[in-house]
Chain A
Amino acid sequence: MSAIKKLFGIVWSLMGIGIIPLVIMQAMKEIAAKPSEENWIFWSIVIVVLMPIIAFSLITFGVFALKGEYDVLE
């Protein structure tokens, strides 16, 4: 179980890192295609609020998992 937890730690960290360019690229693509106020507000909320929370928490959680910090919580 400990090895699986650590292995998944890499997955969470990579997900956290990967989400940043993915969201930014999607936002740029959609705003360029339709630069409406609605689009700006939606992507601002996603980039300023949601993305940092997901990225920070997944990366940090992944690193902790990889280091075996959660191994004791059986």
Chain B
Amino acid sequence: MAQNVTNVSKTEEVSSTRRVIAASSVGTLIEWYDFYIFGTLAKIISEQFFPKDNPTAALLATLATFAAGFVIRPFGALFFGRLGDLIGRKYTFLVTLVIMGGSTFAIGLVPGYKTIGFFAPAIVFILRLLQGLALGGEYGGAATYVAEHSPAGQRGFWTSFIQTTATLGLFLALGVILIVRQALGVETFSDWGWRIPFILSSLLVGVSVFIRMKMSESPMFVKMKKEGKTSKNPLAESFKEKDNLKMVLIALLGATAGQGVVWYTGQFYALSFLQNTCNVEFVQSNMIISIALLIGTPFFVVFGALSDKIGRKYIMMAGMLIAVLSYGPLYNSMYDNANLKNKVELVEKTTVETKEAVKGTDNVTTTVTKKTFTDGTTYKETKKLTVPLDEVKKAELAAAGKLKPETKKETILPENIKNKMIGIVLIQVIFVTMVYGPIAAFLVEIFPTRIRYTSMSLPYHIGNGVFGGLVPLIATRLVEASKEPGYSNPLTNMINSVTGHIGTPAGQVDPLAGLMYPILIASVSFVIGMLYISNKTNNMDVG
């Protein structure tokens, strides 16, 4: 009889934890979805709101892309983290969800630059800042809330569901965009269809708010509040008291910085590398990433659960180390598989089409070259040369060296190489799951309940927002710098010596140069983590 009561009680506990996880995860997933659709549609948003001929708007475009993701997220972490430690987890991350959903919905409704002029980029910029603030507050709240509901010994497993949301949010964003784009056609999508993914967010957020309203406050927070042990000033306690500050620093330098760069490299830089360096066509490159994300996502839970058994530290550190050691060969392989110089062209199938048309005051010449290769790869190069009809303007542009065609390169890989690419990206997603799966449990366990929301949110968002979020910017910059004379990259040199490549000739881009930043950050983080982080689990207090 007593055994039956214990079993029923355990079943109820598991069922209740499942409800908490589901309700928290859905909301967090939607927040990530909201955040990523802006980034994924950055090019269209830039055309709609930030015209290049207006320098202020162009500056706002850059700031909107970077500031919201990097600078604002840690501020959101501080602001909402403090609220969460003062008034409770439930209401705080309900507020972040509403702010995120409202901002995303509003972006979908803002009239373009052509309609309301400078107000358009200004409004979008403010809304993007609100998105960053909300995201900064959401994750820490969700992770803390779930961890404080989870039974001891299973925090890695339960919090790993929250960890899946960032990747699933990206997957959802890519999926919705691809479906809407395919359904409406490229032109309509670029014109107004891009607004649909933003507006759709309101529906998702509405459902999620409804679910979250029904949730109860974290039991640990309720207990602490009853005992009058909540913090009066979580910010001061978190960052002015040496005992907490030293844990914030170790969390940042030994874990989240390395985790952040591995996360961004394995997902965002991989996509950027496929599209910009390998010239893989838009839909195919997004499909490669989406499939790899979908296959890799369950591993968040696998490594989260494993961390309950063997500890968080060694799984995260192994993920960082393997990533550092294998990024070079993996990216080299991606580049080689898409490199047209390694393929044999079927010259008889090559076609070149040239069209001329007068558009407004310009003469536009479009040349489309299509090539087919023996392995089934197809390549399309579109060159668009816009020349003013006015001879004086034409002479001015020619003198300034600005009469150059816009070139768009699109490679479509055959099925076998596409699958190989999915495999290579999947390996990187597995690294992501190793470093990211256990990290929520690791972060919540090193800080006391009274300041947990504040203390864990800041290192998480600096690690991911600043160190990780800067991966695309710094990596692109490093690739550009590789064109300079005298450039030398130890990673490329090593790979060249092993594979027998002759290296990057002067003036040409070194495709692997961008990896130096994530490799350096993850290496430092690995050494700090190995030396200073404890491998204990379940050391979570209530006071």
Instruction: Report Cα–Cα, A65/B531, bound state, in Å.
Output: 10
Instruction: Report Cα–Cα, A41/B70, bound state, in Å.
Output: 14
CB nearest neighbor in B for A38: B62
List residues of chain A with CB within 8 A of the CB of B58. 37
Stretch at the interface among B244-252, B353-361, B422-430: B244-252
List residues of chain B with CB within 8 A of the CB of A5. 531-532
Instruction: Report Cα–Cα, A37/B62, bound state, in Å.
Output: 11
Instruction: Report Cα–Cα, A48/B234, bound state, in Å.
Output: 26
CB distance from A61 to the nearest CB of B (A): 4
How many A residues face the partner with a CB closer than 8 A?
A: 23
Instruction: Report Cα–Cα, A64/B528, bound state, in Å.
Output: 13
Instruction: Report Cα–Cα, A68/B528, bound state, in Å.
Output: 14
User: In the complex, which residues 442-500 of chain B have their Cβ closer than 8 Å to any Cβ of chain A?
Assistant: 462, 466-467, 470, 473-474, 477
In contact, A73 and B534 (Cβ under 8 angstroms) = yes
- Choose among B59, B252, B466, B533 the residue that contacts A41 (Cβ–Cβ < 8 A): B59
- A41-B62 contact, Cβ under 8 Å, with A12-B528, A74-B534: yes
> A58-72: contact bitstring with B at CB < 8 Å (1 yes, 0 no)?
101100110001100
B341 within 8 A of A: no
Majority secondary structure, A binding face: helix
- Choose among B55, B70, B532 the residue that contacts A73 (Cβ–Cβ < 8 A): B532
> A6-47: contact bitstring with B at CB < 8 Å (1 yes, 0 no)?
001000100100000000000000000000010001100110
- Choose among B245, B473, B531 the residue that contacts A45 (Cβ–Cβ < 8 A): B473
> B504-543: contact bitstring with A at CB < 8 Å (1 yes, 0 no)?
0000000000000000000010011001111000000000
Instruction: Report Cα–Cα, A74/B66, bound state, in Å.
Output: 38
Instruction: Report Cα–Cα, A57/B70, bound state, in Å.
Output: 17
- A64-B462 contact, Cβ under 8 Å, with A37-B59, A42-B477, A73-B534: no
In contact, A49 and B70 (Cβ under 8 angstroms) = yes
In contact, B532 and A70 (Cβ under 8 angstroms) = yes
CB distance from A1 to the nearest CB of B (A): 8
- Choose among B55, B245, B246, B477 the residue that contacts A37 (Cβ–Cβ < 8 A): B55
- Choose among A4, A37, A49 the residue that contacts B71 (Cβ–Cβ < 8 A): A49
Sample of 7 more A-B contacts, CB < 8 Å, known A50-B470, A61-B250, A65-B532: A5-B531, A12-B253, A45-B66, A50-B466, A60-B249, A73-B250, A73-B534
B interface vs A, CB < 8 Å? 55, 58-59, 62, 66, 70-71, 242, 245-246, 249-250, 252-253, 462, 466-467, 470, 473-474, 477, 524, 527-528, 531-534
A interface vs B, CB < 8 Å? 4-5, 8, 12, 15, 37, 41-42, 45-46, 49-50, 53, 57-58, 60-61, 64-65, 69-70, 73-74
Closest 8 CB pairs of A and B: A61-B249, A73-B534, A70-B532, A64-B246, A69-B246, A41-B62, A57-B249, A61-B253
